[in-house]
Amino acid sequence: MLVGICELDLLIYDSNSLKEKRQVINSLIGRIKSRYNVSIAEVGEQDTWNKSIIGISVVSNNGIMIDKIVTSVINFVDNDHRVEIINKKLEIL
């Protein structure tokens, strides 16, 4: 069994309050959950109104499949005009 762990540091555009930030992040997380078979949550920067850290995990028996799924999720987030990926970390255990 292999586990893929990805952490994305996001900059949120047009967010002037925590309420606006949470609307963007909850929408993004919901869309990713419905499209991809991953576990995802906001894991950091919860009290900062224009930044967020998203944690994503994938379990599989194939490292190539994990890389493919995580890359698809990263591309999905990258194509969302409301956020920008500042930093990303990927680890397969």
Look at residue 39 in the predicted model and tell me its pLDDT: 95
pLDDT score, position 22: 92
pTM (2 d.p.): 0.87
Q: pLDDT tens across 11-68, in order?
A: 998 888 899 999 999 999 999 999 998 999 999 888 888 999 999 999 999 889 999 9
Residue 44 has a pLDDT of 87
Summarize pLDDT for 70-92 with one digit per residue, the tens.
999 999 999 999 999 999 999 98
| Paired residues of 88 in beta bridges | 8
The region that residue 14 occupies, defined by phi over 0 for left and psi between -120 and 50 for alpha, beta otherwise, is: left
pLDDT at position 48 is 87
Helix/strand/coil for 54 = strand
